[in-house]
Structure 1
Amino acid sequence: MMRVLVTGGAGFIGSHVVATLLSSGTAVAVVDNLSTGCRENLPPGVPFYQIDITTPALAEVFHVERPEVVVHLAAQAVAPRSLTDPCFDATVNITGTVNVLECGRKAGVRRVVYASSAAVYGDPAYLPVDENHPIRPLSPYGASKYAAEVYLWTYQRLYGIEGVVLRLANVYGPGQDSAGEGGVVAIFCRRLRRGEPPEIHGDGGQTRDFIYVADVAAAVVASLTRGAGEVLNISTGRATSVHDLCRLLLQAAGKELAPVYKASRPGDIRHSVLSNERAKEALLWAPRYDLPTGLRETYAAFGAPGGG
């Protein structure tokens, strides 16, 4: 049985990854400082360590659990916060990642699957964005996520740790809060549950690539045994406007509420969609959830305890 350590495993994406790993028969342990995660997101019996990835205490977890693979999800994942506190962002995303890699090297970890972000690309020079697109982050968050990728490849070259980088599109799904890159879905769901109209910044024509969290978890599981040395976009490959996202969510909620249009937010990218062809080939993976289905499941979960 493969032993996997998941950092950030009590968070939104992490808890879905842990559940998928457990269902596949993998032995899982979790590290999370619970700054944004929740202990109740994890099933009973999963070894859990409330530890910050930047601290020396992380080494003891590796010594006890002896993981073969690390799924590294723990991060400062809020781009606006990186603008106001870039030092904190770098401490978590760069120094924390180096600590994970160093602990893994000393414990004999074979592979690290790293959750990166579409934010490393910045404003797209062309669409769909593939993995060869120039790296031009618009925030310290995007810069720190890319710096962590570079450290992973350095450890691969120096110490033979297999690396897999997954650059995630806009992830949404049950259990999400409004802070992440797919947070607009959570914000819309919360307002609709309260009977309030959704708020759209700008004209609603801006597009994003929204991928359901279960499809992301499936890609992570595939990365345990495939894709060594690869940088892979995990996305649907389909652009959806915020206006269409709003319309689909209103249908899922069975509500007729006219959206409220507000001023555009400075710095927002107009269009973004990621090519997933390389991931399909390297991981033998493809997204299974279309947007209407994923939004129905997400909205239904927001009516349940702990659903969002």
Structure 2
Amino acid sequence: MSKRVLVTGGAGFIGSHVCEMYVREGYDVLCVDNLSSGKLENLKSLIGNPRFQFVQEDICHLEGLMHLFETFKPHVINHHAAQKSVVASLEDPRTDLDINLNGLLCLLQCVKKHPIQSFVYVSSGGALSKVIIGDEKSTESDSPQLISPYAITKYAGEKYLEIYAKEYDFDYTVLRYANIYGPRQIPDGECGVVPIFVNNITTNRTSVLMTYPDMPRGCTRDYVFVGDVVEANRLATEKAPNMVINIGTGKEIAILDIYQSILKIFGKEIPIRIEGPRSGDVKRSVLSNRRAQESLNWNACTNLEEGLLVLKKAMQVETI
């Protein structure tokens, strides 16, 4: 008998890839998404598959969620639904709080009544990074900076999950993502710098690079390909280690270097406009993935050039 997994935010960029993985692995999948940013188009490969079903529902709607738990009876929850923008959290912290914490608590309220076996919770390695000095990498045991409402709600969510897991006897994994890129990503804010650049470059428009005086090539980030992230979700579902785990490459890349790599892959020469820093930005972020290697036997296998080539190929297929 196959396991049943409920994926929140499953019509989104990462969530849709995760849904595909679960179906390939023989799980029965219930995808729950309110389609505020997710797209049904992302699920087109799964529509009609007897192991997959989609329900449009908001994770903050407790009554609707409870009904889904009663009828589907999931063994596993994979929680990707979130307000994911640092800037948006600064502009509207109440909405960030409602989605990222109230939404999680609605799920955990359902778990109290309908027990599960394990829970995969997506957090933020970038927003919860410590201040990086020299060749340091942010580890899971470091004290996070917590300089945005988004970082605060994600960190609080980790702690709520830890408490509920002990109280209601289920296993869990917190996956702190680095900056994810790949097919289906939408160009929205700091979460989507790669698709923003790709979209601008392929349409011959000027992009903007936000810099600090001491960082003329822009902030640095740890970029990991979505296919590698999906594998981390598979491993975390198979054997939840009951801990927080960074999912990143361990390599720090300046945003200007990302831009220039995309120019090379797409064979373009378009200048970029330089502007000042943005409120709430973490200047440097790079994640140690040592715990992921030791606890999940996971490592990032796709380098930036390989990942951008896959993205380019996917875009070409979409336009045929």
Q: TM-score, normalised on structure 2?
A: 0.91
- Residue of structure 1 equivalent to 2:27: 26
Q: Per the alignment, in what secondary structure is the counterpart of residue 6 of structure 2?
A: strand
Please tell me the residue identity of whatever aligns with 2:266: A
| CA distance in 2: counterparts of 1:181 and 1:275, whole angstroms | 21
> In the superposition, relative to structure 1, how do residues 198 and 125 fare at CA in structure 2: closer, same or farther (>3 Å)?
closer
2:65 to 53, 58, 65: 58
Instruction: Work out whether residues 171 and 181 of structure 1, in 8 Å CA contact, stay in contact via their aligned partners in 2.
Output: no
Helix, strand or coil at the partner of 1:275: coil
Aligned residues: 307
Distance in structure 1 (CA, Å) of the matches to 2:295 and 2:189: 27
SS in 2 for 1:288: coil
1:213 maps onto 2:220 in alignment: no
Q: Distance in 2 between matches of 1:93 and 1:182?
A: 16
Cα 1:293–1:182 shift into 2, 3 Å: farther
Q: 1:237 to 1:306 in 2, by over 3 A?
A: farther
Question: Structure 2 CA distance, aligned partners of 1:269 and 1:228?
Answer: 28
Q: Is 1:145–2:154 an aligned residue pair?
A: yes
Name the structure 1 match of 2:163.
154
Contact 1:236 1:274 in 2 (8 A): yes
Q: In structure 2, do the counterparts of structure 1 residues 275 and 135 end up closer, same or farther at CA, with 3 Å as the change threshold?
A: same
> Does the Cα contact within 8 Å between 1:6 and 1:29 map onto a contact in 2?
yes
Gaps of 5+ in 1: none
Quote the Cα distance in structure 1 between the aligned partners of 2:208 and 2:308: 17
**Do the aligned partners of 1:89 and 1:144 also contact (CA within 8 Å) in 2?**
yes
Runs of 4+ in 1 over 6 A off after TM superposition: none
Q: Which residue of 2 aligns with 1:168?
A: 177
Counterpart-to-counterpart distance in 2, 1:155 and 1:104? 9
CA-CA distance at 1:85 after TM superposition: 1.2
Per-residue CA distance 1:224-270 (angstroms, 9 max, x = gap):
12242111000011111112111111111011223232333234222
Q: 1:181 to 1:68 in 2, by over 3 A?
A: farther
Residue pair 1:249, 1:296 contacting (<8 A) in 2 also: no
| Contact 1:75 1:92 (C-alpha < 8 Å) held by counterparts | yes
Aligned pairs (5 A) from 1:1-308:
1-42=2-43, 43-45=46-48, 46-55=52-61, 56-126=63-133, 127-179=136-188, 181-202=190-211, 203-305=216-318
What are the ranges of 5 or more consecutive residues in structure 2 without an aligned counterpart? none
Percent identical pairs in the alignment equals 38
Query: Structure 1-normalised TM-score?
Result: 0.94
CA root-mean-square deviation: 1.8
The letter for the 1-side match of 2:159 is V
